[in-house]
Amino acid sequence: MKAADLIRNEPFADLFTATLSDFLSLRFGGEWRVAWKKKSTSMTAQSWLVNLNINAIFREGASRHALENTRREYATSVIPWKRPFQRLYFWLATSATPRFIAHAIVEIEPAIPDASQCLIIPSTHKIRFIDAAAGVVYCHLKKGSSAAHFQHEIQARELAASKGVPVPRILERISDLCIAEQMVVGTPLNRLTSRDQRADGLERALHALEPLYRSTARQAKLADYATFILSRIETVAAARKENVSKRALALAKQLVNAICSADRVVELVRSHGDFQPGNILYDQGKIWLIDWEYSSEKQRHYDLLTYTIKVRSPYNLAKRITAFARALPNGLQLWQLRLLLLESIGFESEAVMVASSQYAPRDFIARLAEFEKALPFVLSGARA
């Protein structure tokens, strides 16, 4: 999740500055002062520009190499007619008038060495500090986030890498809260302007996941698996005691009742867990799969269905679900779609449980509303 969204759901500035201070002490030693301000006030501190629209924190005059991944993601809009304006905005935000467009200033004392070669990218559970000159990305767990969740991601990446899945290589475990990884440069699939490249990237990604799927595959009773997911959602609802979690639980129960009505077996595999275009980087025929923090055991079709239906995007999600249910391509059955919705609610519940904020993200609420819209059709469909 981008900082622009996080800042609405949590005390993001406080969490960010505390995390960055800890990281700088770990990386360079000594004591560091990090402050988030509306404008620069210190004559001695090093000023970094915060641009929420491109989800980046950088020094004025930052090198092209340091900004390259951000340029590939945010200098191209997913909407074709917006692309010229997006390119212009990115140029203004990073080259022409960055200080005037910045949303905030981060002041750092003492000064970070060779800062023009560095970039800071905030996210939901960690911050990434990119040292472009060294080709290294430091990932540090964000204050308030789950250390166990961070370790789970590292273990998932190591498992995937051991099966030959292309993931950025972990160079060093600096502490339980920080790792150094290989810097890779690629374009998210949804930012590629070539349809052929998008198709090629998806095909390569699915092919790359197959060894992981094959090595972890097992058969399970569908009813047992669905009940297991429901129990985890019940745990979240009991802990959170908020309306959105109760709605999620009610929706999950309806799906479980429909799924468990037949005696079936499901093939379970270790999935990527958040398989969406933004998590697949593409560069001249090479791909990398990133963000493994929600990797877990799911039905074999989970990653592909998540990508195909665009489950992570709430806009018109109910229409996409019902359209997919009508078509059910490639021999899929309706129970597999029902199971996907149940697994997706489980994903959302887990994301809420490990979040820094006590409030459910807006996207979760929006997606849940779309699931509720699609549910009557999915439950009453004839092709079970």
Domains of the chain plus CATH, in order, are: 3-145 (no CATH), 188-380 (3.90.1200)
Of 35-44, 293-302, 347-356, the least confident: 347-356
Report whether pLDDT(358) > 60: no
pLDDT of residue 355: 65
pTM of this prediction?
0.94
pLDDT digit string, tens, across residues 280-331: 999 999 999 999 999 999 999 999 999 999 999 999 999 999 999 998 877 7
pLDDT of residue 17: 97
- What integer pLDDT is reported at residue 261 of this predicted model? 81
Instruction: For residue 363, name the pLDDT band (cuts at 50, 70, 90).
Output: confident
Which pLDDT belongs to residue 384?
A: 43
The pLDDT tens digits for 192-231 are: 999 999 999 999 999 999 999 999 999 999 999 999 999 9
Q: Is residue 383 scored above 50 in pLDDT?
A: no
Mean pLDDT over the full length of the chain: 93
Q: Which of 143-147, 316-320, 364-368 has the highest mean pLDDT?
A: 316-320
Average pLDDT of the segment spanning 143-166? 95
| pLDDT of 356 over the 90 cut | no
Residue 271 has pLDDT above 60, yes or no: yes
Q: Is the pLDDT of residue 128 over 80?
A: yes
pLDDT at 360: 60
Are 130 and 119 in contact by the 8 Å Cβ rule? The answer is: yes
